[in-house]
């Protein structure tokens, strides 16, 4: 689980989120979506 003060919405790799919270076309893994969204996750 990943938590950060700047992350108001949970962007976590969990069964609840099979896709990123902010769904981007072609980006299913949240880890790939996070750099695209400029979020400080990994």
- What is this structure's pTM? 0.13
- Give the pLDDT confidence score for residue 10 in this predicted structure: 52
- Give the pLDDT confidence score for residue 42 in this predicted structure: 45
- Tally the residues of the chain: 42
Measure the CA–CA gap between 12 and 20, rounded to whole angstroms: 8
Q: Can you give the C-alpha Rg of the chain in angstroms?
A: 9
pLDDT tens figures, 1-42: 455 555 555 555 444 445 455 555 555 555 544 555 555 544
- Give the pLDDT confidence score for residue 17 in this predicted structure: 47
Domain boundaries defined on the chain = 1-42
């Amino acid at each position: 689980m990943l938590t950060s003060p700047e992350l108001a919405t949970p962007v976590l790799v969990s069964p609840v989120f099979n896709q990123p919270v902010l769904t981007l076309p072609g980006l299913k893994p949240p880890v790939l979506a996070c750099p695209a969204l400029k979020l400080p996750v990994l």
